[in-house]
Every structure is written in C-alpha cells, then in structure tokens.
Amino acid sequence: MTMKGLKRIDSNRIEVPRGYGTGMRTKGIIYADKALEEMLEQKAVNQVANVASLPGIVGNALAMPDIHTGYGFTIGGVAAFDGDDGIVSPGGVGYDINCGVRLMRTNLDRRETIPRIKDLIEELYREIPTGVGSKGALPLDTREQRNVLTGGARWVVERGFGDSEDLENTESGGCLDGADPESISKKAYERGRAQLGTLGSGNHFTEIQWVDEIYDESVARTLGLFEGQVTAMIHTGSRGFGHQVCTDYLKVMQQAANKYGIELPDRELACAPIKSPEAAAYLSAMKSAANYAWANRQLIMNRVEESFMRVFKTGPGSIGMTLIYDVAHNIAKIEEHVIEGQKKKLVVHRKGATRAFCPNHPDLPDRYKAIGQPVIIPGDMGRASYVLVGTEKAMEDSFGSTCHGAGRVMSRHQAIKNAKGRAIWREMEDKGIIVRATGRNTLAEEMPEAYKDVSAVVNVVHKAGLSRKVARLRPLGVIKG
C-alpha cells in the first residue's frame, strides 16, 4: 500500500518528511523499490518517524528494505546519535543482542555433498542443541561465565575451539572491550549459564548451502568462493542471556527518560543521554551480551566442522572449513563517521541491519581491505542467501550499514494458520532441501512465503549502492529450533 505523506526520492528510496510525525528532528529514509513499498506496514513507517524525533539524532532515521515492525525501532532500522549530546536506546538494538551471521567456506562441492546431505543434517541436528530452552554441552560456572562476557570469541578460541584467524575474520575481533560483568543481573546469569553453544528457536538456523552464482569473480576469489562450492551459515545470537539484559535495561531506561525529561513518542523508545550512568551501564551490559553471542557462534562453528568430518570420514584439512566472516546485525556501537566534512563520534544503532564498511576501512582485516567488509545476508530456508561487500556509498548515506535479511511479511500466527494441512518439510524436500526442526510449529512459522523475497531486498541495497553483490548461495539443508 502506498501511504499518504510519503515522498519517493528515486527508484530505491522513499522519504518520510519531517512533518509526517510530531516532533521529528530530521527526516526518515526508507530503502524500498515500488514492489517493496506495497509491503510497507503503517506501524513500521510510524516507527521510523518516531526515531527521527529522538534527541541528538544525526543525519536521517533510516530503514532498510527488509523493514518490518519491531519493538521501538523498526526491524531494519539504523539511527546514529551524537556521541556527546545524543542518546542510547535498547529498542534500537533489540532483545536478541548481537544476533548475527557467520559464514564458512569448505573445499567440498555440491555434487559430492548431495548424496550425504541427509546424514549431514541429522548429524548437525544431534550435535547442535536447538529449540526454546536448549542447553549446551559446556555449562559455565559464574567465574567462567564472567570470562565469556569479557572475552567473547577469544575465550572460546583459547580453549581450543578455533584459531586466531577466526578472530581476525569476526567483526570487532569477536569481542567488544568495556564489558562489565557487574552490570548483569542474577537472572541474566542464570538464563545464560547453560545456553552457550546452542542455536535457539524461531528464525535461528544452521544451514548448508552451495554457491550457485557469482557476480564478481575477483572479489569472490578474495573471499575464497567458487561456483558449486559448499558453504555453511550460522544465524543466532545471545540467546536468553541477551533477552534478559534487554528486559532488565528497558526498565532502567524508562526511569531514565523520566529522570532526564526526555519526551518519548513511544515508551518503547525508552532511552538515556549517552553521558549518563544509565547509558554507561546499558552499553556495558550490551557489550557483555554481544560477547556472549560471538562466543556462541564460535562454539557452534566448531560443532559444524566436527559434524562434517564425521559424515565425510575425513580430517579438517580435507574439509577445508574456514571462516569467511562473522557480522552482527543487532547492536549499538560508538563509531567515527564523517559528517559535513568533519569526523564525529556517533552512537550507531543497527537493529536488523548489517555493518557494511568500505574498502580500506581501518576496522577491516588486512585480507579484506582492498574489497570492503564482507556482508552476509541470509534469506528464508527455501530460496537463497547472499554475500556482498561494503561500499563508500554506504559510509556516506547509511553510516556504513545495509540490510540484514529478507524481512517478515507474515506474522508467526498467520504463517501457522496458512500452513494448516500442509507438510512444510515435504515441500522443502521436494525442492531438494532437507530440513529438521525442534519446535512443533517452527517450520510453519518459517515457511518461505512468510518472508519477502531476499533477492528483491538485496537488489535494492545493491542498486542504492549500500553494498555490492558478490555471490548467491542456495540451501541444501537446514536445522532450526
């Protein structure tokens, strides 16, 4: 539906004018072509306008083409706030702190993998705990848990589950400095104690894929990708630990907004001034949850590699599994960006949005400096996922950000209703995709038509210049919670 008051800027961008919502300090920009514009939710557009009213916002309030309604901020939302006079808001990060994606390459090709894909999916399903409340094989005492919160993926690698190259190929080296275990509640510790190395539920997955199309041969070579190659993707976050951190600090931020006289268009946008003790405590706790998530994905990667070796009855050298990149898409980070010709420290909130830094950015590993940051965009379990790279245009227009996935077009309840009487697992198998899931309704909730077509979403950010397509990956098999 085309909404009254919105203005189309060009074929890939829509403006939410300052007068669209009360108190807007800047305009909103939604990345969408005409087809995706028809899928816009009124509430999600209102959320973009609401974010534009928050104090200290710099530039525009942004929404990527996978936009859909979220808590406070829209999912697919990006907003930056002044590092001195701005705010931080848990609603701009979300409940699943550092939900993100990890992509691994292998030496295997599709032809030799297809005969063993059923066995491989069964092995992954046995090895990686999935579903609500799932427990990992590495329960932590309080001391070890605190070390995970401050060490992130480094802690996992130090225990022999990976190597230093994994850390180089992970955003922020798999660990944010400044995490303070004292900022974490007892309940959050309890929820996170047994969940390290678990996938969780909902849209989280481990997927085996193959490279079916390459758009940029040179960049693909740098990433170690070739046509027909088998890859593995992990999509999960900080589990119940991060959810509890968000829950705890939403209460703190609601009190802080009242304390500092911040007028909120929506109480879900509860926030605190960046220089306040409440903001410092939240950022410290958020970093702890982010580090937990990086440790979680690092540990799951080890399980994936072991599963491959058992099924193919060979060693790690033959499988050749190495990490291409791991990137967060639910996080707030203090970054430097050029605003009106001047470098400025900003608090960049990305909620359902992926970092997409340009070539030669100092935060990139040396191997990727010439091509830009790898960007990993998962789709639904029946269609495709994409590998892209970041661009200078993203630095100029979106604080180095792009989309994070396909974006839902159907609620979970509606998807379950629409799937009644259908065998989604059989439909997937008829397409040559083997699926396993723990939750009774998971496959119905996650059926492909519950999502936008990820190719349409990726084409918008590619044409808008926020990231550049490198390769398309097709699913062979997936495990879900």
**pLDDT tens digits, one per residue of 8-53:** 999 999 999 999 999 999 999 999 999 999 999 999 999 999 999 9
Q: Reduce the DSSP state of residue 118 to 3 states and report it.
A: helix
Q: Which residue has the tokens 């993707």?
A: 233
The confidence score (pLDDT) of residue 4 equals 83
- Predicted pLDDT of residue 141: 86
Q: What is the mean pLDDT of residues 110-114?
A: 97
Strand partners, 273: 87
Answer yes or no: are the C-beta atoms of 200 and 218 closer than 8 Å. Answer: no
* Cβ contacts of 329 within 8 Å, gap of 6 or more: 99, 100, 101, 350, 352, 353, 354, 404, 405
Mean pLDDT within 313-318: 88
What are the tens digits of pLDDT across the range 169-184? 999 999 999 999 999 9
DSSP string, 338-395: EETTEEEEEEEEEES-EE-PPTT-TTS-GGGTTT--EEEE---TTS-EEEEEE-HHHH
DSSP string of 383-418, one letter each residue: S-EEEEEE-HHHHHHSSSEE--S--BSS-HHHHHHH
Question: If we measure between CA atoms, which residue out of 123, 70, 171, 145 comes closest to residue 400?
Answer: 171
Q: What percent of the residues of the chain are helix, what percent strand, and what percent coil, each to the nearest 5?
A: 40, 25, 35
Confidence grade of residue 1 (pLDDT, cut at 50, 70, 90) = very low
Q: How many CB atoms lie within 10 A of CB 226?
A: 15
**pTM (two decimals):** 0.97
Residue 308 pLDDT: 97
**Cα 477 vs. chain centroid, distance in angstroms?**
20
pLDDT score for 2: 54
Token pair of 306 as six digits:
């072991």
163-170 LR contacts (CB < 8 Å, sep 24+): 165/322, 165/323, 166/298, 166/301, 166/323, 168/365, 168/367, 169/323, 169/324, 169/325, 169/326, 169/365, 169/367, 170/102, 170/294, 170/298, 170/323, 170/325, 170/326
pLDDT at 388 over 80: yes
- Strand, coil or helix: what is 230? strand
pLDDT for residue 142: 86
For residue 163, pLDDT over 70 is answered with yes
Catalytic residue, candidates 68, 243, 404, 462: 404
Rounded to whole angstroms, how far apart are CA atoms 98 and 293? 6
Helix intervals (H) in 169-319: 186-192, 217-223, 239-259, 277-312, 316-319
Rounded CA separation 333/327 (Å): 13
Contact in structure between 292 and 192 (CB atoms under 8 Å): yes
Q: Is the pLDDT of residue 73 over 70?
A: yes
Binned at pLDDT 50, 70 and 90, residue 316 comes out as confident
Which of 27-31, 151-155, 329-333, 408-412 bottoms out in mean pLDDT, i.e. has the lowest?
A: 408-412
Superfamily of domain 7-480: tRNA-splicing ligase RtcB (3.90.1860.10)
**Rounded average pLDDT over 431-450:** 91
CA distance to 209, 217, 322, 477, per residue, from 225 (Å): 12, 9, 11, 19
Check pLDDT > 80 for residue 439: no
DSSP 474: E
| Lowest-pLDDT range of 255-269, 360-374, 413-427 | 413-427
- Measured CA to CA, the distance from residue 74 to residue 67 in angstroms comes to 7
Comparing CA positions, the residue from 453, 337, 348, 291 lying closest to residue 77 is 348
Q: Looking at 135-149, 201-215, 329-343, which range is the least confident one?
A: 135-149
Confidence band, pLDDT 50/70/90 cuts, at residue 134: confident
Catalytic site residue 404? yes
Rounded to whole angstroms, what are the CA distances from 428 to 17, 436, 475?
A: 43, 10, 10
Q: Length of the chain, please? A: 481
pLDDT level of residue 202 (50, 70, 90 thresholds): confident
